[in-house]
Structure 1
Amino acid sequence: MRIVGGELKGRRLEAPEGRSVRPTSDRARESLFNILTQGRVARNGNPLAGARVLDGFAGSGALGIEALSRGAAEAFFLEKDRDALAVLRRNLATLNLGSRARVVPADILSPPRAVQPCDILFLDPPYRTGLAEPAFKALAAAGWIAPGALISLETARNEDFEAPAGYTQIDERHYGNARLTLFQYEADEP
């Protein structure tokens, strides 16, 4: 696994061993970031530039690290698995991202209150667990999602998901067994 774009392009990332974490493939990650930085999503400029991002279900931290590599100002990594947290911290240290990264060891379904809301959120829950909808609700209730924020959700290709009220789907792509769906948070208040 490697960083596919930005200032850290080509740098390798460690991934947790075992089956508890399933990193987003390099191809799907590159496609996601192309969607974010080109075309209609980026018609007013690169939304990553100076953004505050959240990598939920962070695992290795690949999505948040990719965002930092491509211009995000700050990234929060929400993860509860002890082994994944150790790998995530090693990846951040190896890449010298400590000053721009905040690791939050917590369950995404009961996150701590956000200090400030995030502009872009990456959610990659374990497939077919039904965790996406409660994660959307929990993050909004805890103030993690800024009005107008973009939310990237990776699910299994054939997994059912209906976004809660206040989220508008703006894009959807399939990559092998994965489905990447991009939403915009339209609610006035989280």
Structure 2
Amino acid sequence: MKRAKGAAAGQVRIIGGSLRGSVLRVADAPGLRPTPGRVRETLFNWLQPFIAGARCLDLFAGTGALGMEALSRGARAVTFVERDAAAARALQANLQRLNQDKGDVRGADAFDYLRGTASPFDIVFLDPPFAQALWDDAARQLEAGGWLARNALIHVESPVEQMPALPANWQLHRERCAGQVRHALYRRAAADPLD
């Protein structure tokens, strides 16, 4: 499991915003892969003009590091979706300990959640377990299900050697590789009704 520089085992440190330096306690869950600190730093530099007041969805939340960084930097609300019960409990405990009442943890499978009633999000963090290759299906459900605001931004993390098949109206805004991880920020354009 990759950890933020300066964080002990079972911990991830928030790197910016009002919660900078705060430690997130991390559950010991199979396949949990926190987004590395340098990736989070780059991503939130990209998101800096958009994050304040945004409604965010941390799908496949895991440690919740991305959603917590968003709250730290002024997001209006973050919904964390995590199916592993221990990880979801750890997320809830971190929100309570850090007095973050704008975070909402949903202990659910991401696809079950996406079959529910949609409410559009401004920013979505899409970082499923790499071994399960869930990007394509999750992206299709986000797009088709009404989960994305008109000009939503979607952050996608994937292995360098694997390029997810994303909806045609998701336009690449920025991308970078860090070790074996490719992370990219897409901007949603309105879908062509003739497609």
The normalised TM-score by structure 1 is: 0.88
Question: Is 2:16 the partner of 1:14?
Answer: no
2:106 and 2:28 map into 1 onto residues whose CA distance is 21
1:19 and 1:157 map into 2 onto residues whose CA distance is 21
2:190 and 2:110 map into 1 onto residues whose CA distance is 20
SS in 1 for 2:182: strand
Q: State the one-letter code of the partner of 1:92.
A: L
1:120 and 1:135 map into 2 onto residues whose CA distance is 15
Which residue in the other structure is 1:26 paired with?
37
SS in 2 for 1:120: strand
Correspondence list, 1:1-190, <5 A: 1-37=12-48, 46-98=49-101, 100-110=102-112, 111=114, 112-114=116-118, 116-188=119-191
**CA-to-partner distance for each residue in 1:128-171, whole Å, 9 max, x for gaps?**
42201111111233322111100001111112312122211111
1:141 and 1:82 map into 2 onto residues whose CA distance is 28
2:45 and 2:23 map into 1 onto residues whose CA distance is 20
**Gaps in structure 1 of 5+ consecutive residues:** 38-45
1:75 and 1:154 map into 2 onto residues whose CA distance is 18
1:106 and 1:142 map into 2 onto residues whose CA distance is 17
The normalised TM-score by structure 2 is: 0.86
Amino-acid identity (%): 43
Tell me if structure 2 keeps the 8 A contact 1:132–1:161: yes
Aligned CA RMSD, in angstroms, stands at: 1.7
Which residue in the other structure is 1:43 paired with?
none
2:170 and 2:184 map into 1 onto residues whose CA distance is 11
Q: State the one-letter code of the partner of 2:111.
A: L
Q: State the one-letter code of the partner of 1:77.
A: F
**Gaps in structure 2 of 5+ consecutive residues:** 1-11
Tell me if structure 2 keeps the 8 A contact 1:128–1:159: no
SS in 2 for 1:174: strand
2:143 and 2:106 map into 1 onto residues whose CA distance is 16
Give the Å deviation of 1:188.
Answer: 4.8
1:185 and 1:84 map into 2 onto residues whose CA distance is 30
Q: State the one-letter code of the partner of 1:2.
A: R
Tell me if structure 1 keeps the 8 A contact 2:29–2:87: no
**CA-to-partner distance for each residue in 1:39-67, whole Å, 9 max, x for gaps?**
xxxxxxx2001110010100111101100
